[in-house]
Amino acid sequence: MKTPKTNANIEKKSIKEQAKLLCQLFLIFFKIGAFTFGGGYAMISLIEKEISEKRKWVDDKEMLNILAIAESTPGVIALNSATYVGAKVGGFFGALVSSIAVMLPSIVIIIFLSRIITQFQTNQYVKWAFLGIRSAVVALILNAIFKLVKGVKKTFFSLIVFVIALTLAILSSFEIIPINIIWIIIAAALTGIIYGYFGRKNNKNTINIDEDKEINKTEEEDK
Amino acid sequence: MIYLQLFWTFFKIGLFTIGGGMAMIPLIQNAVVIDHGWITQELFIDFIGIAESTPGPMAINIGTFIGYELGGILGVLITTLGLFLPSFIIIFTIYKLSSNFMKKPAIKDMFLGLQPTVVALITSALVMVSIAACTFTSSSGVVSFNWFGVVLAIACFLVMQFAKKVHPIIIIIASAGIGILFYGFIL
């Protein structure tokens, strides 16, 4: 009996309230876009704080679910989480407003910086500075790889997939074989599905329980 | 035509990267540097450094930069729209359908293949980035080995591993300073 009532209440929200909610969403995600350095993962803690701790729009459990979805669906993580939270709080327009707001600061800052960069590109000091930054970027990417490796289950299967994908990707980068890396990604997803399907078929009950346990373990370790 | 190409390129990048951030680098590199030759490998790396030290999602930062370089403000709108649409459509659909969608066994299985592949793709991007970062190309096109680039990269990596509280931006700014000092005044 209670649910239809609350539903009716949501629909009856006046235009004024709706507009206020959208404004709030815009401001929150604009702030998140403007003040998080280092992309997606850095944003997640800020989103959690603003949306579930401060405003209680989403409870903790659902927040975790949203973040899992944002991380494992294609696209920019920050955009994914903004879209989902926005949709949850304010429907279609909520999703639209939140995702635009989270991109806007980046766009403005980078347009401004692009002008400066192209002007100073020939400056000798800027060249030297960027030679130094390139080394830092190598370290940053290596660091990201180290972090990612920790999250991958180390099985014989994942090792083989890694070696094949790496070989194909390098051959494609040096333009030795004409393969777009998008095909490598699609093939990997299909391989995973086939491997998982037959893996489950072969050892029906015992393995499933073990797998669930392992997943729980890794989740706990992550925390 | 450039606008159509920009849109399609960034739409594909948005649609096929899983894991965000660094996982986008191989796809962006493949499309923007290798396939289309819109920017050089060196400028691409410089821009990863800039994107890491400015706020906001990295893919949006890089997309905006390339859009602006190639097509001005309209180019920016088009690249960001390309990145935005796949995310928006997919997430909104999942929201409408069910949030339990991701718990389906087939989706979980997919990640058995995707996780090691994402690591492999970033590793291959690292190979390309390392080659560009650790060599000098003189104006006459002669390539020589830059040993200091290797040393600085290892030093930065060690700092990241053993002093985790140091924010990446500080490392980037410090390496810029060291770059000016070393390449400008010592070498």
Chain A window 31-90: which residues touch B at a Cβ cutoff of 8 Å?
A: 33-41, 43, 62, 65-66, 68-80, 83-84, 87-88
Residue A146 lies in a domain: no
Asked if the Cβ–Cβ distance from B110 to A69 is below 8 Å, we say no
- Closest CA–CA distance from residue B107 to any residue of chain A (Å): 8
The pLDDT confidence band at residue A222, using thresholds 50, 70 and 90, is: very low
Q: What is the CA radius of gyration of chain B?
A: 19
Does A130 reside within a domain?
no
- What tens digit of pLDDT does each residue of B136-186 get? 877 777 788 889 999 999 999 999 889 888 888 888 899 999 999 998 888
CB contact under 8 A, B154 and A113: no
- Do residues A22 and A115 share a domain? yes
Asked if the C-beta of A184 comes within 8 angstroms of chain B's C-beta atoms, the answer is: yes
Is residue A197, in this structure, part of any structural domain at all?
A: yes
Kindly report, residue by residue over B73-112, the tens digit of the pLDDT: 999 999 999 999 998 998 888 888 876 666 788 888 888 8
Chain A residues within 8 A of B107 when measuring between CB atoms? 72
Question: Which residue, A119, A140, A168, sits at the end of a domain?
Answer: A119
pLDDT at B187: 72
Which of A73-77, A209-213, B9-13, B125-129 has the weakest average pLDDT? A209-213
- Residue to mutate among B18, B33, B91, with most A CBs inside 10 A, is B91
CB contact under 8 A, A141 and B25: yes
B169 contacts A37? CB cut-off 8 A: yes
In sequence order, what DSSP letters do the residues of chain A get, joined into one string?
A: -HHHHHHHHHHT--HHHHHHHHHHHHHHHHHHHHH-BSSHHHHHHHHIIIIIIIS-SS-HHHHHHHHHHHHHSBS-HHHHHHHHHHHHHHHHHHHHHHHHHHHHHHHHHHHHHHHHHHHHTT-HHHHHHHHHHHHHHHHHHHHHHHHHHHHS---HHHHHHHHHHHHHHHHHHTTSS---HHHHHHHHHHHHHHHHHHHHHHS-HHHHHHHHHHHHHHHHHH-
Q: Do B117 and A161 touch (CB under 8 A)?
A: yes
A74 contacts in B (CB within 8 Å)? 14-18, 86-87, 90
Percent of chain B past pLDDT 90, that is, above it, reads 31
The answer on A181 and A105 residing in a single domain is no
* Minimal-distance CA residue of chain B relative to A97: B88
Residue B9 pLDDT level (bands cut at 50, 70, 90): very high
Q: What is d(CA B127, CA B149) in angstroms, rounded to the nearest whole number?
A: 14
Domain that holds residue A212: 152-222
Contact between B18 and A78 using a beta-carbon 8 Å cutoff = no
Query: Mean pLDDT score of chain B, rounded to an integer?
Result: 87
Q: Give the count of domains, chain A.
A: 2
pLDDT of residue B76: 94
Within 2-31 of A, beta carbons closer than 8 Å to B belong to none
In a domain, A133, yes or no: no
Q: What is the pLDDT of residues A179-210, one digit of tens each?
A: 888 899 999 999 999 999 888 777 655 544 44
Average pLDDT over residues B19-37: 85
In a domain, A112, yes or no: yes
C-alpha closest to that of A71 among A34, A38, A44:
A44
Tokens 């729980």, residue located: A216
In this structure, the answer to whether residues A100 and A10 fall within a common structural domain is yes
Give a yes or no: residue A192 inside a domain: yes
Q: Which amino acid is at A98?
A: S
pLDDT at A5 over 50: no
pLDDT of residue A93: 93
Average pLDDT over residues B27-50: 89
- A77–B57 C-beta distance less than 8 A: yes
Give the nearest chain A residue to B70 (CA atoms). Answer: A114
Residues A106, A14 within the same domain: yes
Does A125 lie at the interface with B, CB-CB under 8 angstroms?
yes
Domain boundaries, given as residue ranges, for chain B? 2-133, 136-187
B21 and A41 within 8 Å at the Cβ level: the answer is yes
The answer to whether A182 contacts chain B (CB < 8 Å) is yes
Q: Are strands B143-145 and B135-137 parallel, antiparallel or unpaired?
A: antiparallel
DSSP assignment, residue B139?
T
> Which residue out of B64, B80, B87 would a mutagenesis test of the A interface target, given it has the greatest number of A Cβ atoms within 10 Å?
B87
Residues A165 and A112 in one domain: no
Chain B 54-83, CB below 8 Å of chain A: which residues?
54-61, 64-65, 68-69, 73, 76, 80, 83
Does the residue A183 lie in any domain? Answer: yes
Same domain? For A62 and A107 the reply is: yes
pLDDT of residue B156: 93
Nearest chain A residue to B157 by CA: give it: A139
A195 touches chain B (CB under 8 A): yes
pLDDT at position A180:
84
* Distance separating the N- and C-terminal Cα atoms of chain B: 45
Q: Tokens for A179? A: 């393969």
Query: What percent of chain A shows pLDDT beyond 90?
Result: 29
